[in-house]
Amino acid sequence: MRKSIFLKALTMCALLATVFTSCDNDDDVKVDPDHTGIYRTPKYVFYFIGDGMSNTQINVTEAALANPNFKLRTTKSTKAVSLGHMNIRELPVTGMQTTHAEDRYITGSAASATALATGFKTTIGTISQNGDHTSDLKTMAEMAKEKGMKVGIISSVSIDHATPACFYAHTDSRNNYQEIGQDLLVSNFDYFAGGNVRHNKYKGYTLDNFIADAKTKGYSYVNTRAAFDALNAKSGKTIATIKKLETYTSDGCALPYAMDVYAQDSEDDMITLADFTEKGIEVLDNEEGFFMMVEAGKVDWACHANDVVASSMDMIAFDQAIGKALDFYKEHPNETLIVVTGDHETGGLSLGFASTKYETAFDLLQYQSESYVVFTSKVKGWAADGNMTFESALAEAKASFGLGDEAKGLEISDYERELLEDAFNRSMSGESDHAPEEISVIYGYYDPFTVTITHILNNKAGIDWGTYSHTGVPVPVFAIGQGSTLFDGYYDNTDVAKKIMKVAEYQTLKEK
């Protein structure tokens, strides 16, 4: 006990020394009476949201990274790299937040992102409005903009998806993509990056119309590597995305899964979440400071599909983006706050499986080479062609997942072979397109053959899933920098927003 108190005292003394010696004016220093934290109002605020991320998504990624062969390739021309420990480990303050919505215990991304962006609960599917849709809720990004800061919104999924939308849009349904896109254009925010808008959902209005309207609002639209690399602090308001998403909509106008980036046909489509974050820092940096929200949206999507490798690889990509903010923080420690959290957990991911008992074999995850989305597209092609045999399909599963390779410890038992053959037949017949309840429980809304492969690989590694949907478990909060001590403890997701608003001195919390 005495040692613990002594260490805390030393930590506080070090913090005091850092703050006071760096302040030109002692009036800049704030004291939080509840936590005895001492901080300055940050000039730069980074807010990272891992969609679908809770402790298990972090833990399994760390466990997989313990194997130097679990690697993330980013381009065709570069070798895979082993990353070691996660950057998220460098954030010293840790809290936990509860996630329930106003009208449901297990939340959705719109309701949770509204809480994280505004400090208010709302109903499922609502984008930064109160629960009965009678009033808009002002977001911290809007408050930062009104304060004179530049604002950036980045996501690996479409930039009008629920989480990013909750920082600039106000509508009664997350599915109002065209309306959300118009809110984006009038937000006057400085940098939108990552996925494109869901233009395939527009009616009587095209992506070309959106780009033209963006230009009339003062935005440049960037979709090539050369144009992206040329962006700088003088570029003005920018919408940055990748080329393929002008026509590619089968995966929701989102960036490719991190593990599939290397397989893209053009460098224009190999811009990563970390690239968009690093460029955002360059574009947004100015004397008044900036607010940046970065979402790893496809962690959630991979967990919905019960693909632990795709999820973990996107967690690595997310962590690399956090690393870019940490690099900036190390240059501006007395002016920066970084907060990292999730909006909810997805998939009921558990580290442990009945048949492996207390054993795990995370090394087996290294043999999956592509995401469920890429493999599913192959399966759909086989079904359309009508000539694929089960034995040939098993060979494809072996090539992409290692499944069936005895030398790798991935031999297929008779029971597993039976599961795979049944799933293959369902995939080829299309029976799962309108599946009865018992089939949807087994396969969710995913291709039966693909999801059976990922389940078997995951189970062999000692990993299991409880659902294809969200769960209600609390999620972690990590923080570093000015005011970070406020994020210690156990609290509600609305309090994450309130704490950021307090530290950053954004407009007093109120309905817009």
pLDDT in tens, the chain (512 residues): 444 444 444 444 444 444 444 444 455 677 665 555 789 999 999 999 999 999 999 999 999 888 888 877 766 666 666 556 899 999 999 999 999 999 999 999 999 999 999 999 999 999 999 999 999 999 999 999 999 999 999 999 999 999 999 999 999 999 999 999 999 999 999 999 999 999 999 999 999 999 999 999 999 999 999 999 999 999 999 999 999 999 988 899 999 999 999 999 999 999 999 999 999 999 999 999 999 999 999 999 999 999 999 999 999 999 999 999 999 999 999 999 999 999 999 999 999 999 999 999 999 999 999 999 999 999 999 999 999 999 999 999 999 999 999 999 999 999 999 999 999 999 999 875 545 777 878 999 899 999 999 999 999 999 999 999 999 999 999 999 999 999 999 999 999 999 999 999 997 655 54
Q: What is the CA radius of gyration of the chain?
A: 23
Q: Are residues 186 and 83 in the same domain?
A: yes
Burial of 84 (C-beta count, 10 Å sphere; 0-12/13-18/19+): exposed
Backbone phi and psi for residue 171, each to the nearest 5 degrees, phi listed first: -155, 160
pLDDT of residue 6: 45
Q: Are 167 and 184 in contact (CB under 8 A)?
A: no
Instruction: Give the closest residue to 62 by CA, choosing from 338, 312, 278.
Output: 312
* 322 part of a folded domain: yes
* 356 part of a folded domain: yes
* 506 part of a folded domain: no
3-state secondary structure 315-383: HHHHHHHHHHHHHHHHHCCCCEEEEEEECCEECCCEECEHHHECCCCHHHHHHCCCCHHHHHHHHHHHH
Q: Are 462 and 356 in contact (CB under 8 A)?
A: yes
Q: Are residues 448 and 333 in the same domain?
A: no
Q: Are residues 389 and 304 in the same domain?
A: no
Q: Are 458 and 306 in contact (CB under 8 A)?
A: yes
Q: Are residues 376 and 253 in the same domain?
A: no
pLDDT of residue 437: 76
* 505 part of a folded domain: no
Burial of 267 (C-beta count, 10 Å sphere; 0-12/13-18/19+): middle
pLDDT of residue 71: 79
Q: Are residues 368 and 308 in the same domain?
A: no
Q: How far is CA 511 from CA 130, 131, 142, 229, 450, in A?
A: 8, 12, 12, 39, 45
Q: Are residues 89 and 196 in the same domain?
A: yes
Domain boundary among 464, 479, 500: 464
3-state secondary structure 394-453: HHHHHHHHCCCCHHHCCCCCHHHHHHHHHHHHHHHHCHHHHCCHHHHHHHCCCCHHHHHH
Residue 382 CA to residue 385 CA, distance in Å, equals: 5
Residue 50 CA to residue 23 CA, distance in Å, equals: 33
* 387 part of a folded domain: yes
Residue 124 CA to residue 174 CA, distance in Å, equals: 9
Domain count, the chain: 3
* 55 part of a folded domain: yes
Q: Are 106 and 469 in contact (CB under 8 A)?
A: yes
Q: Are residues 69 and 149 in the same domain?
A: yes
Q: Are 430 and 329 in contact (CB under 8 A)?
A: no
Q: Are residues 385 and 480 in the same domain?
A: no
* 504 part of a folded domain: no
Q: Residue 379 sits in which domain range?
A: 350-464
Residue owning tokens 């795709």: 310
- What are the start-end ranges of the H helices in 187-341? 207-216, 225-229, 273-284, 298-304, 308-331
Output the six-digit token pair for 339.
């907060």
Q: Are residues 380 and 421 in the same domain?
A: yes
* pTM for the model: 0.93
Residue 116 CA to residue 153 CA, distance in Å, equals: 14
Q: Are residues 55 and 104 in the same domain?
A: yes
CATH of the domain at 322: 3.40.720.10
Residue 97 CA to residue 108 CA, distance in Å, equals: 15
Instruction: Give the closest residue to 351 by CA, choosing from 477, 461, 475.
Output: 461
Q: Are residues 266 and 368 in the same domain?
A: no
Q: Are residues 27 and 139 in the same domain?
A: no
* 502 part of a folded domain: no
Q: Which helix (H) or strand (E) holds 480?
A: strand 475-481
Q: How many other C-beta atoms can be found within 10 angstroms of the C-beta atom of residue 325?
A: 28
